[in-house]
Amino acid sequence: MMVRNTISVTAQGIDLTYIFVVVVHDVILASATDSTATFATRQASLLALDALEGDAQFLTRTCDCRTRSQTKKTHKKASDQILSSLDEEEGICN
């Protein structure tokens, strides 16, 4: 999630605008702009939830966090087993 403020100077005075953007894995799901951060945040969040509801497979297609995590765990387990077997071999040789 990203929030950006913009300040505009007009004839009526200074105008502060908040832009809130919901980003998931480099994909912009929704954005909203308002003069209050709370409303912009809430509106963008609701729009993002609506977008996810409309595309139930979005996270399945774009998110590989679980797969990467499992792969990382598998690699760590294999490395630990290799190191463990090397430690056992060193114990036998000494």
CA distance 63 to 21: 18
Q: Which residue from 25, 35, 31, 28 is spatially nearest to 5, judged by alpha carbons?
A: 35
pTM for the full predicted model: 0.59
Say yes or no to pLDDT of 92 above 60: no
Instruction: Count Cβ atoms below 10 Å from residue 12 Cβ, excluding itself.
Output: 6
Q: List pLDDT tens digits, range 4-41.
A: 666 656 667 777 888 899 988 888 899 999 988 899 99
CB 33 within 8 A of CB 17: yes
